[in-house]
Amino acid sequence: MTVRIGGGQGFYGDGHEPVEALLADGLDYLVCEALAELTLAILQKDRMRDETLGYAKDLPLYVQQALPYIADGRTRFITNAGGINPVSAGRAVRETLAAAGATGIKVATVVGDDVRPLGHQLELPDDTLFANAYLGARPIVEALDQGAHVVVTGRVADASLFLAPLVHEFRWSWDDWDRLAAGVTTGHLLECSGQVTGGNFSGPWWENPDALDIAFPIGECEEDGSFVLTKPAGTGGMVTFDTVREQLLYEVHDPAAYLNPDATCDFTSLTLDDLGGDRVRISGVQGGPPPETYKGLRCSPAGWSGEARLGYPWPDAEAKARAAIHFLKAKAEERGLDVLEWHEELFGLNGYGGPTVDLAEGDATGWEPPEVIARLAWRTADADTARAVGGSAGVLGLSGPPAISGVGRARDTRPSQLLAVDAFPVARDLVDAQVRVEITEV
Amino acid sequence: MATIELRDLCGVRCGDKGDISDLTLFADDQAAYEALRSVLTADVVKAHLGSIVQGEVVRYEAENVWALKFVCQDALGGGAPRSLRADNLGKSLGSALLRLRVAVTDAVAASASRRRAPVPR
């Protein structure tokens, strides 16, 4: 038996079109991974405005796309789009199904990753906005074992979303470390959608076939843990040794010990065989027990930011841009505005490369940038101060360095709130005691 | 020996976790991998990235896929939702690393095959 899993989403805001091709190609499971660290902070801002929000708002669209396949029993759907409010997300899924007239569909909601109720025991700061533990695959397996067609979770480790259906189908033991690690590897390769099928490829990316329609990936998984990574027939992008290895090591830190709540994986032990025809076989993954604690992620307010963009043309673009930055900083000081942190970037010069760009080399050869767009950002304790600092920028129009130039029509200088997220360990038994799987049939 | 930019020798992908930037270089063959491994210590990478990386840099090896990984602490201005940087996820830090020039044997330099993208003007 081969289990086909599709990676239908790599972040909140990913494309929906490639999901159609995945479903049409035939999937046993569609898995949508919606949560980056940054996403939780975005969802927290939503929840601060409205207590019923805090989940990925495009979840109903995925449900609508997958519904024909879910309804005929072909495909089951797993997602962590519940974000920091899986209960509301589960409700949204049921409402979407009901509105479409679907019946007999079991929707599971996994709750318990929110560890704010344990704030005292975990010594969370008083200003904690959210605090979640990265759950493993077990509650999803429990939901699938109970016949769930749709599983909605909050913060579950990305790869564990994909491991769960493999444990459910193949009945892998929870201490079969090599197989569990293989399942985590499958998930790790599928969790970033197009980033394994030609997206963000640092090799000859311009040779991606049909680059306007990069496919999302499919894992064809075997009982022994080996799998073939591929993509639907007739789609764009490519699956090669190079595209797969770039994703294999993405954000994993130690490649010999990739930590996941269900297993620790040694990616240096595996073999990638490029079979040609957009098929790469992954085998030989070795694994070990997971860390003793869950990883937690907590978030606290970290002040407010404002920014100004100031474009200057040649000649002397760099000097003009630096003079404009000095103007804004000096005005803030003159007005007694308390700025906690400044950040300067000179686009067209070294905005991205920073100290790795040798400006002296340009000086020596007489090279001048054709333009410089200065970006000055600042951090303050409150929104009003952040807004006030930017108030001096208007003066630069007529009373600053010559020829300040437009950088687009956007005039939105509203300050935005900064959030600090920190990882911390959480005792497993504390979390496991509050994890629940709730199944409702629509 | 020859001095070439890393961009001719390897590809790169960057990711983020909190305030950590996770950079991986991918060599095209065993010889390029070994050349990278011999010259690119964590200290060399940290020195090149300068003020971008405030914390420690640790190197990891994955010879099975000809890759070297550099995990850089305190490298994203406090982490994506806290950073004042335009590139708050640090996706461009790999490009900054590719600008580094390294000494390699003439044979490795000769087979450095990373091509330039055509510009459709």
Q: Kindly report the nearest CA distance between residue A267 and chain B, in angstroms.
A: 8
Per-residue pLDDT of chain A (442 residues; tens, 9 = 90+): 999 999 999 999 999 999 999 999 999 999 999 998 889 888 988 998 999 999 999 999 999 999 999 999 999 999 999 999 999 999 999 999 999 999 999 999 999 999 999 999 999 999 999 999 999 999 999 999 999 999 999 999 999 999 999 999 999 999 999 999 999 999 999 999 999 999 999 999 999 999 999 999 999 999 999 999 999 999 999 999 999 999 999 999 999 999 999 999 999 999 999 999 999 999 999 999 999 999 999 999 999 999 999 999 999 999 999 999 999 999 999 999 999 999 999 999 999 999 999 999 888 998 999 999 999 999 999 999 999 999 999 899 999 999 998 887 666 678 999 999 999 999 999 999 999 999 999 9
- Structural domain containing residue B25: 2-79+89-107
Structure tokens at A160: 């564990």
Judge whether B84 lies within some domain: no
CA distances from residue A364 to A188, A321, B100 in whole angstroms, order as listed: 47, 20, 19
Round to whole Å and give the CA distance between A269 and A287.
9
Cβ separation of A268 and B62 shorter than 8 Å? yes
Judge whether B113 lies within some domain: no
Q: Kindly report the nearest CA distance between residue A359 and chain B, in angstroms.
A: 13
Round to whole Å and give the CA distance between A235 and A222.
24
Which residues of chain B does A347 touch, with a Cβ-Cβ cutoff of 8 Å? 86
Round to whole Å and give the CA distance between A230 and A345.
41
Nearest CA to A95 out of A85, A110, A84, A105 is that of A105
CATH code for position B64: 3.30.70
Confidence of residue B105 (pLDDT cuts 50, 70, 90): very high
Note whether A325 and A374 are within 8 A (CB): yes
**ipTM score for this prediction:** 0.95
| DSSP state letters, chain B | -EEEEGGGTEEEEEEEETTEEEEEEEESSHHHHHHHHHH--HHHHHHHHGGG--S-EEEEEEGGGTEEEEEESS-STT-TTT--SSSTT-TTHHHHHHT-EEEE-HHHHHH--PPPPP---
Give, rounded to a whole angstrom, the gap between the first and last alpha carbons of chain A.
30
Q: Considering its fold, how many domains does chain B have in total?
A: 1
Strands B57-62 and B67-72: antiparallel
Confidence of residue B115 (pLDDT cuts 50, 70, 90): confident
| DSSP state letters, A364-395 | HHT---SEEEEEEEEEESSHHHHHHHHGGGGG
Residue from A253, A254, A298, A375 whose CB has the most chain B CBs within 10 Å, to mutate: A253
Round to whole Å and give the CA distance between A159 and A260.
8
Judge whether B116 lies within some domain: no
Domains of chain A and any CATH numbers: 3-291 (no CATH), 298-421 (3.30.70)
Residue from B82, B93, B100, B121 whose CB has the most chain A CBs within 10 Å, to mutate: B82
Which residues of chain A does B5 touch, with a Cβ-Cβ cutoff of 8 Å? none
